[in-house]
Amino acid sequence: MFVKTSAISNITLEAWLPTNWTGRFLSTGNGGLSGCIQYEDVAYGADFGFATVGANSGHNGTRGTAFYENGEVVADFSYRSVHTGVLVGKALTKAYYEKDFKKSYYLGCSTGGRQGFKEVQDFPEDFDGVVLGAPALAFNNLSSWSGSFLLKTGPTNSSTWLNPAEWALVHADILTQCDGIDGVKDGIIEDPQLCAYTPANLLCSPSNTTSPACLTSAQVSTVRQVFEPYYGENGSLIFPRMQPGSELSDAFIYYTGQPFPYTTDWMRYAILNDTTWNASELNSYYAALASERNPADISTWKGDLSAFQKKGGKILHYHGQADSIITSANSPRYYEHVAETMGLPPRDLDEFYRFFRISGMDHCAGGGGSVADWADVGEYGGGDVGCAA
């Protein structure tokens, strides 16, 4: 279905209406900068008897070129695609089944997780319960952080760059230092926030600088920088550090010696409207500019969720502790922001908002949840929000 959202923008959506309908409605989100319906999520919801809707976030394809000089498309990507899809999807559901739904839910991860929090913050009446994984919160800062790794590793011909085999050495050293913190050596870092990793042990000796089992001083410096928080002008925090434990995946994502395409697209087409901007130009000035401009309030960092709380809404928020795309350190930062803004200790916040760290889980891999039971009958069983992939 084609739905216009402004004079110069539109969304495409699909509603899957199963014959075994349970009387419940589900909306799904998107991923990355993608303008793609998440068909696997739509199918998942329909298989469980939910009337399920998915939309394309206002553009087609996996890149951000559609944002260029079109703030309406950015608005669709930020919030309007999901919200419009909910309004249209609910109307279709009611018309098709000739009766109203009982409860409405949302399921999304990464960009989809951010979209879900945007709904909770700005459109609290849309859902009774949401399952939000690895949300791309503080979106502009996340984009700048994602692009910063090229500046830290350098290109592939640089003395500072590490190849995947060398990152495997780092990973093994991280496990040696941090795997046993939880008392069990199982190849999984239970809580990477407790891992104060130092790569000094991997430094080659002066007489053995070419060994494949050690790193040069330039490479050791790179590793240190990779696991440091990203700071901007005046020492202000842009984004928390990448957690130790995801480096085997990140060797093929952030540490490739190539520009991260989402960062390039976001800066070129949404922030600057300058197609010539180069990823090597990224610095604290551009990071601050992106945060300041914050098109369509895509940052999604509001801490007051009281409207959603008062209507009886429920949030299940999870984040894999080996996430290779969005550091797992960002989610507890937002949870604490909500707690401080609303003046609620964890015990009270847990009445409607629960946050789970999923050990060993990468970006959006694994998953699941009990939000339907919690929102329907007020009972949360626990223990099944997600699992290691």
Task: List residues with catalytic annotation.
Answer: 110, 323, 363
Residues in a beta bridge with 237: 231
Residues, the chain: 389
Task: Write the burial class of residue 191 (CB in 10 Å: 0-12 exposed, 13-18 middle, 19+ buried).
Answer: middle
DSSP letter (8 states) at residue 378: S
What angle separates helix 111-122 from helix 81-97, to the nearest 10 degrees?
A: 80
CA distance 351 to 42: 28
Kind and range of the H or E element at 95?
helix 81-97
Query: Could you identify the residue written with the tokens 């199963």?
Result: 18
CB atoms within 10 A of CB 64: 26
In contact, 279 and 151? CB cutoff 8 Å: no
Sign of the torsion formed by the C-alpha atoms of 178, 181, 186 and 191: negative
CA distance 291 to 275: 19
φ, ψ (nearest 5 deg) of residue 317: -115, 125
Task: Write the burial class of residue 212 (CB in 10 Å: 0-12 exposed, 13-18 middle, 19+ buried).
Answer: exposed
